[in-house]
């Protein structure tokens, strides 16, 4: 699986209709209109997200690895 940083993943979410609700410290909280789920993405410079966390985010967002 391709590893990407939190900052890059936020761009992917925004491209797929997710909106930034707020920023709490280094975590960006995203929501999609009509969805109950929230995604809290850690944005720490260019540090890549861990694979398990990235897979979890993709599952919540309804995205696939190809969307990265």
Instruction: Give tens-digit pLDDT for 22-44.
Output: 999 999 999 999 889 999 999 99
Q: Indicate if the pLDDT at residue 17 is higher than 90.
A: yes
Domain assignment of residue 28, yes or no = yes
CATH number at residue 51: 3.30.920.30
Domain assignment of residue 1, yes or no = no
Domain assignment of residue 55, yes or no = yes
- Taking the model in full, what pTM does it have? 0.91
Q: How many CB atoms lie within 10 A of CB 12?
A: 17
Domain assignment of residue 27, yes or no = yes
Domain residues for the domain of 49 are: 6-67
d(CA 32, CA 13): 9
Domain assignment of residue 37, yes or no = yes
Q: pLDDT tier at 2 (50, 70, 90 boundaries)?
A: confident
Q: According to the model, what pLDDT value does residue 63 have?
A: 95
Q: According to the model, what pLDDT value does residue 1 have?
A: 81
The number of distinct structural domains making up the chain is 1
* 65, HSE (Cβ side, Cα atoms, 13 Å): 7
């Amino acid at each position: 699986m391709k590893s990407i940083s939190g900052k890059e993943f936020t761009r992917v979410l925004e491209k797929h209709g997710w909106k930034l609700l707020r920023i709490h410290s280094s975590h960006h909280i995203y929501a999609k209109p009509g969805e109950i789920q929230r995604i809290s993405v850690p944005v720490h410079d260019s540090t890549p997200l861990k694979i398990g966390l990235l897979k979890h985010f993709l599952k919540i967002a309804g995205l696939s690895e190809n969307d990265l």
